[in-house]
Structure 1
Amino acid sequence: MKIYRFVLFILFFLSIKAYTQTSEDYFNSGFAKSQQLDFEAAIIDFTKAISLDATFAEAYNHRGIANRYLKKYQVAITDYTKAIEIHPHYAEAYNNRGVVKHQIQLYQSALEDYNRAIQLNSMYAEVYNNRGVTKHVLRDFQSALADFTKAIDIDPKYAEAYNNRGVTRFQLEQYTEAIADYNTALAIKLSYAQVYFNRGLANRKSNELNEAIADYTKALEFTPQLAEAYNNRGVAKVKLADYRGAIADYNSAIDVNPSYTKAYYNRGIVKMMLLDYQGAIIDYNRALELNSNDAETYNNRGICKESVNDYQGALIDYNKAIELNPSFSEAYNNRGVLYRKMNNYKAAMADYDKLLVLTPKNAEAYYHRGIVKYYISDLSGSITDFTQAITFNSQLFEAYMYRGIVKNMLNDFSGAILDYNEAIKLNPESAEAYYNRGVSKGRLQEHQSSIEDFTQAMNYKMNYAEAIFNRGVSYLALAQKDAACADFSKASQLGFYKAFEVIAVFCK
């Protein structure tokens, strides 16, 4: 019996021992569960630890971490605050509370926590990194750079700090320096998809497009569901004129994220470039379903609708773009062009007037307003606008062309020829420029020179009936009747009816 009683005693003792866990035991169990990402179970254990020891600051801190991962931000802040009340010099709790405040956009309060953590531990690399992130969000880029650099000084193997410093340098357009930081981050941590993605952005900005594509591809190897990498790789491919490849990437981005507005928008742009206006409209429709307040999408859809002759639909889109962004200069320009096509010259003038208030040195706006003035027979006004357009953009071929046309109408043939000379310098293969110059030379009786211009026009534009006919006129003026009649005959064969009248008189 004694042995039996002894065994019972031992079993009872062991039973009691098994259920007497300390706060440390619960804390360690919670920590292990956190490491396994089982945060709900971890919180239960940390709470048990706290119930056994209400002054267990580390348990509050780690419960706060678990709550943060579960996005219970206010609860997490309460836990960190309690940890700090128990242990006022708890730098890690200040840092962690700062992280949560940053996540809920309490940026200034987050900075206060980071500052306090640094006061308590001036060699705390993670806090400098986190403070740098908050300063970056607040666009205090130089101060953010200093924090990331300090974090790196403390921990030269801190890959995240190199990445973050690279991001800030990217914002400052220091692309070479940003790439150097990304390179270092990748040397420390090879499988860092976000850094490949970020380096891709910097390479694209540096016009290193093939390198950018390689970076986005590498990012996708590590994170195949990174829709932004597909989208940005598509953007780089567009710059390399690989339009089909770009569309394939935008398709992949949309497959990963069917609500990715930017991918629909970008795919729409490429379809526009490929003249697939209906396909682009479908993409812009979807983009606007996802974000009905994007002025650029309305503007682009308007361009597509205008291109398929849906002028009313285009007008509605341009109106909406301007309603959303009253300073959207491109939309005013596009609506002005549309109004001109619709013969609503008064409305077109109003749009160009507004556009020139927004962008006083806009050569295109002066050019288009000059066109409207030309259509309403305000010829001197149109010359003034074309001249302003040339002042702000001396390479604007169309402005020289139209100013030459108007000067020709005003019998300023020498002035017109000077404008056509400039137009030909800018576009040496413009059949119309040679033709127009030939007409002006003919009016000045410079028939041999006009014949040369009409011949050049015919070289650059096959079956150019007007040029053939007018060359015939110049031949006739030089008494070269056979050559003239040959040109009149060819012009008539091309359907230029005035040639029939001339043949009847001069080529019997």
Structure 2
Amino acid sequence: MYRKIVFIIAMYVPLVGMAQFNTDRLVTIGRSALYYEDYVLSIQYFNQAISAKPHLYEPWYFRGVAKYYLDDYVGAENDCTQAIERNPYVVGIYELRGLSRIRQNKFDEAADDYIRALKYSPDNQSLWHNRVLCRIQQKNFEQAHLDLDTMLARWSKYARGYSMRAEVYMLQKDTARAVEALDRSLELDPYDGSTWAAAAVISLSRSEWQEAEKRLDKAIHLVPNQAGNYINRALARVNRNNLRGAMSDYDTALDLDPNNFLGHYNRGLLRAQVGDDNRAITDFDFVLGLEPDNMMALFNRGLLLDKTGDLHGAIRDYSKVIDRYPNFWTGLHYRAGCYRRLGMTRQAETDEFRIYKARLYKSLYGKQPRLNKDQMRKRSDEDLDKYNQLVVADEHEVEHEYENDYRGRVQNRRVDMAFMPMYELSYEQHRTEVKPFMAFDSQVEAFNSKVRMSDRLYINCVPAKLDERRSAVYFSRIDSLSSVLAHDSGESRRSSLLRRAVAYSVIQNFESAIEDLSAVILADSTSSMAYWQRAVCRSKMETFEASQGIGTSEIASATVIADFSAAIRHNPRCAYLYYNRGNVYASCKDYVNAIEDYNRALVLDENLAEAYYNRGLVCLKSDRLSEGINDLSKAGELGLYTAYSVIKKYSKK
């Protein structure tokens, strides 16, 4: 009996270790997929880890991160709650759950998360910052001031702290103190666009139009993609009689935020003012699509339809407004005019008689006045006598920027000028925007001639992100190839291993891919495709490990370069291999070798737009601005249009 127990324990312990190893590997692969923005795929790996080890907090937490990126804030919150139940001492989980709750406007619960997180990390500035913003949303101004006192005592040169204090003062209607706090914030950090925008709001509230425009100029220069800043600057420009500039601002704002109510409404008024009636009608059509019962927009559209000869449409709009407001004499006056022009005398006289009776109590309104640029109405103000006034928000809301590691997408946290990615082997046919034909290599084509159509491999620069259905296809493909490999041998085995490695690569399981590719190379040391794909997998693993602060990048990069060099030895006419190796040199800041490899790639394929783009970036980083801009221009000419934004940035220099 004793021997049986010992034997059972001895058998069980390795299984426990194996299960733990498999779970750790699933989490690692899931985190890698998360880093490379394959959020749906990463969730599947974390699901498997949760099924295997539901008591571990990490799979729950990282699945919550993936859901946050997919805008599933409810799911992210629930996963964070599960993670906290398993480990209540990890600050990052509270931070992520707080952000998820903020996205759902659960500011009380988010503030509670930050309170708990600050118990474990009291010197975390971003947690204090976010808790203050939650206090502001809760309108708990007293506590917000107390938190800001603590923050500014610890970090006296924290500019955003003063700008948040200014916001609290503004909400408390204490403009003088708000101005002092903003001035201090701008003194510490004159490059914060949101602070300039907040200062501009104060100028607008004081009708200091010129000062408001100057401040908004600076805000837009620093934060060019904020629609609200253009809306506010348009308001200042209208009041300075710069109608052309105001119209341009409304156009830009609506390019950035096509559903912006204020932008469409005010641009409609402005277009009516300058006689652009048909396009003004289009704006009011859009506004009424957003708010079908907006009487102001309905009446303004009626006036424009009246002017452009659509009398039946005008009567329809006037009638809806008059049904809601029977004593709106201006509306009756214009509707009577439409009836007269249509020969509908009885209806016209009925409206005119109602107006005549009103004259006993009130003088007639007269002709429609022009757009009164000196007057504005709040959006919630439904006084129809103000139908021709520009609309402003009920309160100028500050767009809060919560400090976190999850701001925007993963790609937005990378360097400003990112290199185009490597070419790799894939099952996905991907015709990029750069060229209408597929990337070609003679050795890949020779490989494809020996396999079925469904097993063909392609050269891909930007592999598509997988959804759940496509992921299942790849897992099934791997299982099928594993079954084949159990009794395969010779060239057929090498082919199956290579194809399984590519499938592993697609689902971000780089470690298993590298094992299969190493087996191919061991059996055939001249396989350029195996060296190629192994180098790509190693490069991706290196990038992910570097983002996690692990691994030795110099050694890893040398290994990747060695694999690409081996691939080039056995396939020296492949432009993509030189391009890929150039990318590795560029990432190591070895710009001389990078440019040399890009040059070789372009000799072999003069239409390789990504090589022009990356060589252009390397030149810019080497202070060779003229050459860099020329290369970027060529990349743009070949269809890589993102090059133009970089050109615009560096042409000024």
Q: TM-score, normalised by structure 1?
A: 0.55
Counterpart position of 1:235: 99
Counterpart position of 2:390: none
Whole-angstrom CA distance in 1 between matches of 2:356 and 2:108: 47
Matched, 1:368 2:232: yes
Q: How does 1:57-456 map to 2 (within 5 A)?
A: 157=21, 163=27, 166-179=30-43, 182=46, 191-254=55-118, 261-274=125-138, 280-360=144-224, 363-441=227-305, 449-456=313-320
Q: How far is the alpha carbon of 1:349 from its aligned partner?
A: 1.4
Counterpart position of 1:45: none
Whole-angstrom CA distance in 2 between matches of 1:249 and 1:366: 35
Paired residue type of 2:334: S
Q: How far is the alpha carbon of 1:415 from its aligned partner?
A: 4.8
Whole-angstrom CA distance in 2 between matches of 1:297 and 1:364: 22
Q: How far is the alpha carbon of 1:229 from its aligned partner?
A: 2.9
User: Does 1 or 2 have the higher relative contact order (CA < 8 Å, sep 6+)?
Assistant: 2
Counterpart position of 2:351: 483
Q: How far is the alpha carbon of 1:376 from its aligned partner?
A: 1.4
Paired residue type of 1:469: W
- Percent identity of the aligned residues? 19
Q: How far is the alpha carbon of 1:375 from its aligned partner?
A: 0.9
Greater shift in the superposed pair: 160-169 or 205-214 = 160-169
**What is the DSSP-based 3-state SS (H/G/I as helix, E as strand, rest coil) of the residue aligned with 1:500?**
coil
Whole-angstrom CA distance in 1 between matches of 2:168 and 2:203: 16
Q: How far is the alpha carbon of 1:383 from its aligned partner?
A: 2.5
Paired residue type of 1:216: C
Q: How far is the alpha carbon of 1:486 from its aligned partner?
A: 4.3
Whole-angstrom CA distance in 1 between matches of 2:228 and 2:33: 35
Whole-angstrom CA distance in 1 between matches of 2:262 and 2:220: 19
Gaps (5+ residues) in structure 2?
1-16, 367-653
**Distance change (3 Å), C-alpha of 1:161 and 1:428:** same
Q: How big is each residue's C-alpha offset from its partner over 1:216-264, in whole Å with a ceiling of 9 and x where there is no partner?
A: 2233333334444334323223334444433443444345555554444
Matched, 1:501 2:363: yes
Question: Would the aligned equivalents of 2:95 and 2:117 in 1 still touch at CA under 8 Å?
Answer: yes
Counterpart position of 1:471: 331
**Distance change (3 Å), C-alpha of 1:221 and 1:418:** closer
Question: Would the aligned equivalents of 2:98 and 2:109 in 1 still touch at CA under 8 Å?
Answer: yes
Paired residue type of 2:317: D
Paired residue type of 1:349: E
Q: How far is the alpha carbon of 1:274 from its aligned partner?
A: 4.8
Whole-angstrom CA distance in 2 between matches of 1:385 and 1:499: 43
Q: How far is the alpha carbon of 1:372 from its aligned partner?
A: 0.9
Q: Which structure features the higher share of helix residues?
A: 1
Q: How far is the alpha carbon of 1:342 from its aligned partner?
A: 1.8
Whole-angstrom CA distance in 2 between matches of 1:292 and 1:445: 64
RMSD: 4.2
**What is the DSSP-based 3-state SS (H/G/I as helix, E as strand, rest coil) of the residue aligned with 1:502?**
coil
Question: Would the aligned equivalents of 1:488 and 1:500 in 2 still touch at CA under 8 Å?
Answer: no
Q: How far is the alpha carbon of 1:189 from its aligned partner?
A: 5.9
**Distance change (3 Å), C-alpha of 1:211 and 1:475:** closer
Q: How far is the alpha carbon of 1:394 from its aligned partner?
A: 3.9
Whole-angstrom CA distance in 2 between matches of 1:484 and 1:165: 77
Greater shift in the superposed pair: 328-337 or 369-378 = 328-337
Question: Would the aligned equivalents of 2:210 and 2:240 in 1 still touch at CA under 8 Å?
Answer: no
Whole-angstrom CA distance in 1 between matches of 2:121 and 2:106: 23
**What is the DSSP-based 3-state SS (H/G/I as helix, E as strand, rest coil) of the residue aligned with 1:221?**
helix
Whole-angstrom CA distance in 1 between matches of 2:326 and 2:169: 31
Q: How far is the alpha carbon of 1:392 from its aligned partner?
A: 4.8
**What is the DSSP-based 3-state SS (H/G/I as helix, E as strand, rest coil) of the residue aligned with 1:377?**
coil
Paired residue type of 2:96: N
Question: Would the aligned equivalents of 2:237 and 2:246 in 1 still touch at CA under 8 Å?
Answer: yes
Question: Would the aligned equivalents of 1:450 and 1:471 in 2 still touch at CA under 8 Å?
Answer: no
Whole-angstrom CA distance in 2 between matches of 1:318 and 1:400: 31
**Distance change (3 Å), C-alpha of 1:268 and 1:154:** same
**Distance change (3 Å), C-alpha of 1:463 and 1:389:** same
Q: How big is each residue's C-alpha offset from its partner over 1:56-77, in whole Å with a ceiling of 9 and x where there is no partner?
A: xxxxxxxxxxxxxxxxxxxxxx
Whole-angstrom CA distance in 1 between matches of 2:316 and 2:140: 40
Paired residue type of 1:344: E
Paired residue type of 1:311: T
Greater shift in the superposed pair: 176-185 or 237-246 = 176-185
Question: Would the aligned equivalents of 1:471 and 1:484 in 2 still touch at CA under 8 Å?
Answer: no
**What is the DSSP-based 3-state SS (H/G/I as helix, E as strand, rest coil) of the residue aligned with 2:364?**
helix
Whole-angstrom CA distance in 2 between matches of 1:503 and 1:327: 50
**Distance change (3 Å), C-alpha of 1:435 and 1:280:** farther
Q: How big is each residue's C-alpha offset from its partner over 1:300-334, in whole Å with a ceiling of 9 and x where there is no partner?
A: 44344333323333334444444454443333333
**Distance change (3 Å), C-alpha of 1:197 and 1:387:** closer
**What is the DSSP-based 3-state SS (H/G/I as helix, E as strand, rest coil) of the residue aligned with 2:293?**
coil
Whole-angstrom CA distance in 1 between matches of 2:130 and 2:147: 9
**Distance change (3 Å), C-alpha of 1:243 and 1:155:** closer
Greater shift in the superposed pair: 329-338 or 295-304 = 295-304
**Distance change (3 Å), C-alpha of 1:464 and 1:255:** farther
**What is the DSSP-based 3-state SS (H/G/I as helix, E as strand, rest coil) of the residue aligned with 1:428?**
coil
Counterpart position of 1:57: none
**Distance change (3 Å), C-alpha of 1:371 and 1:214:** closer
Larger radius of gyration: 1
Question: Would the aligned equivalents of 2:237 and 2:245 in 1 still touch at CA under 8 Å?
Answer: yes
Question: Would the aligned equivalents of 2:23 and 2:52 in 1 still touch at CA under 8 Å?
Answer: yes
**Distance change (3 Å), C-alpha of 1:155 and 1:476:** closer
**Distance change (3 Å), C-alpha of 1:185 and 1:421:** closer
Q: How far is the alpha carbon of 1:483 from its aligned partner?
A: 3.4
Whole-angstrom CA distance in 2 between matches of 1:291 and 1:242: 28
Counterpart position of 1:88: none
**Distance change (3 Å), C-alpha of 1:279 and 1:503:** same
Whole-angstrom CA distance in 1 between matches of 2:193 and 2:229: 9
Greater shift in the superposed pair: 374-383 or 252-261 = 252-261
Counterpart position of 1:137: none
Greater shift in the superposed pair: 435-444 or 335-344 = 435-444
